[in-house]
């Protein structure tokens, strides 16, 4: 599909007595999927990887809605408490659900982790796409954030670098063995931020393109009911 006809619309999502900003990127024709994307803890609605995915997915007939959490909307640190992060995700899903096609949710690092929490708690979606899932803090490698993952009942896509210090490939394979219908894609040479060493011979763009092709392949191959 020709991505030159894609469009971007600015949205406001109501979260209780707050609002957060969102950007909806739509293809020029019918949409096969809607992907709701949240960034990692240190980023916002202008997350470069989220921007890249949104524009490239539009070329494939996929709508993307990316949003930021209330603390980023207010220009504050640290992240909001888990109940507010989860409430924001549920509000974003309600906004995106009005579109046609299958509904996929996820994001980078913390954004994807909170998406997986709300899905494990019963929020209805068709699939999860988790980039750089933060299984544990680098300083606490034995304290895993995986207790909710076995409760996820939809196809789940994990895409992480083989130098990610928040989850090694072996750790991801261990935890996903407990999840129904997982797919794991490992990005060669990439760290948690998808950066690569110069000696690897790869660029950040190579990693992003790899991640894009992987999620497109998963969307085509997975059974979403």
The domains of the chain are located at: 3-221
The residue among 76, 144, 86 whose CA lies nearest residue 116 is: 86
Tokens in use for 143?
A: 């304290």
In this predicted model, what pLDDT tens digit does every residue of 150-192 receive, in sequence order?
A: 999 999 999 999 999 999 999 999 999 989 899 999 999 999 9
d(CA 194, CA 162): 10
Average pLDDT value over all residues in the chain: 94
pLDDT at 2: 41
pLDDT level of residue 82 (50, 70, 90 thresholds):
very high
Contact 111, 37 (CB under 8 A): yes
pLDDT at 4 over 70: no
Classify domain 3-221 at the CATH topology level: Rossmann fold (3.40.50)
Query: Which residue bears the tokens 């207010």?
Result: 74
Contact 152, 119 (CB under 8 A): yes
Say whether pTM exceeds 0.75: yes
């Amino acid at each position: 599909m020709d991505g030159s006809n894609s469009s971007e619309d600015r949205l406001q999502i109501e979260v209780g007595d707050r609002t957060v900003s969102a950007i909806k990127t739509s293809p020029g024709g019918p949409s096969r999927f809607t992907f709701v994307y949240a960034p990692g803890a240190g980023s916002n609605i202008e997350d470069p990887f989220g921007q890249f995915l949104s524009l490239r997915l539009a070329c494939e007939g996929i709508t993307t809605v990316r949003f930021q959490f209330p603390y980023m909307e207010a220009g504050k640190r640290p992240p909001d408490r888990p109940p507010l992060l989860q409430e924001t995700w549920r509000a974003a899903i309600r906004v995106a659900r009005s579109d046609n096609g299958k509904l996929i949710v996820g994001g980078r690092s913390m954004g994807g982790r909170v998406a997986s929490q709300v899905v494990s708690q019963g929020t209805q979606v068709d699939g999860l796409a988790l980039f750089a899932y933060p299984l544990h803090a680098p300083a606490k490698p034995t304290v895993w954030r995986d207790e909710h993952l076995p409760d996820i009942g939809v196809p789940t896509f994990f895409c992480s670098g083989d130098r990610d210090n928040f989850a090694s490939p072996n750790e991801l394979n261990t935890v996903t063995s407990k999840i129904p219908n997982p797919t794991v894609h490992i990005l060669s040479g990439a760290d948690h931020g998808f950066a690569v060493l110069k000696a690897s011979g790869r660029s950040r763009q190579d990693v992003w393109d790899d991640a894009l092709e992987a999620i497109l392949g998963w969307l085509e191959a997975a059974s979403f009911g």
